[in-house]
Amino acid sequence: MRPNTLTALLAAGLLTGAVMLASAAARENAPFILPDLPYAADALEPVIDAQTMEIHHGRHHRAYVNNLNLKVNEYPRLKTLNLEQLQREISSFDTAVRNNGGGHYNHSLFWTLMAAPGQGGEPGKALMAAIERDFGSVDALRTQFSAAAAGVFGAGWAWLIVRDDGRLAITTTPNQDNPLMDIVAERGTPILALDVWEHAYYLKYRNKRADYVEVWWQVVNWTEVERRFGNAQARK
């Protein structure tokens, strides 16, 4: 092998090693990662259009992740907490961690709770029994949840949660707060969530939030809701 070829290979190896070390360091200082959407951006059409999904996920959610990672040097403990643990200890951090940590958790959950129209299934036996016990029927749940979502003042979220006593409840939070946080009035394990920030629906529905809420039920992923309900019950 000629000397210049050997030198080039050694240099390439050193460069590759440096890139790998840099990537590892970046991951260590940026422990929070934007998850991929669990479906194509256009999968929820016509309920939620592809452009809204691309902007919502690729810009808004990405910004929460990036901004949260910027706080790691200030709060090294962030590297030791998973996203759910962070919510339960959110009072230990500043407003930027609360807003961006909440935004990251809320959206990571939200994407999984939707499926293409007609593919979300129906509430299973256990969840149906709980819904009928606590609301009377699925229709009653939908009516109450939709009213709560439409009634959020400004930006926020509507939630279906499993309370510590095992019962279901509907609650709302402002901004990027959620029911896992140790600073909210009504805490519980979220199993269904609806984002009612305007960027979630404005391109298609303009200011008609109620229209967005009404059709959103067509893309609810009841299979995932059921799974999360079962997990929440198992932890009781």
Fold of 46-236: minor pseudopilin epsh fold (3.55.40)
Range with the poorest average pLDDT among 12-16, 28-32, 93-97, 190-194: 12-16
**Residue length, the chain?**
236
Q: Which residue has the tokens 């709770």?
A: 113
Residue owning tokens 């990036």: 66
Q: Per-residue pLDDT tens for 127-175?
A: 999 999 999 999 999 999 999 999 999 999 999 999 999 999 999 999 9
- Between CA 149 and CA 1 the distance in angstroms is 70
Q: What is the pLDDT of residue 29?
A: 72
12 has pLDDT over 50 = no
pLDDT of residue 22: 33
Contact (Cβ atoms closer than 8 angstroms) between residue 118 and residue 220: no
Strands 156-162 and 168-174: antiparallel
Residue 56 DSSP symbol: I
> At residue 157, what are phi and psi to the nearest 5 degrees?
-140, 150
3-state class of 185 per DSSP? coil
Structural domain boundaries of the chain?
Answer: 46-236
Q: Give percent above pLDDT 70 in the chain.
A: 88
CA geometry: angle 84, 87, 88, nearest 5 deg: 95
Q: What is the pLDDT of residue 27?
A: 54
Higher pLDDT, 6 or 149: 149
Tell if the pTM clears 0.85, that is, is over it: yes
The pLDDT score that the predictor gives to residue 35 is 98
Distance of CA 182 to the CA centre of its chain: 18
Q: Which residues of 180-211 are buried (b: 16+ CB within 10 A; e: fewer)?
A: bbeebeebbbbbbbbbbbeebbeebbeeebee
C-alpha 38 chain-centroid distance: 12
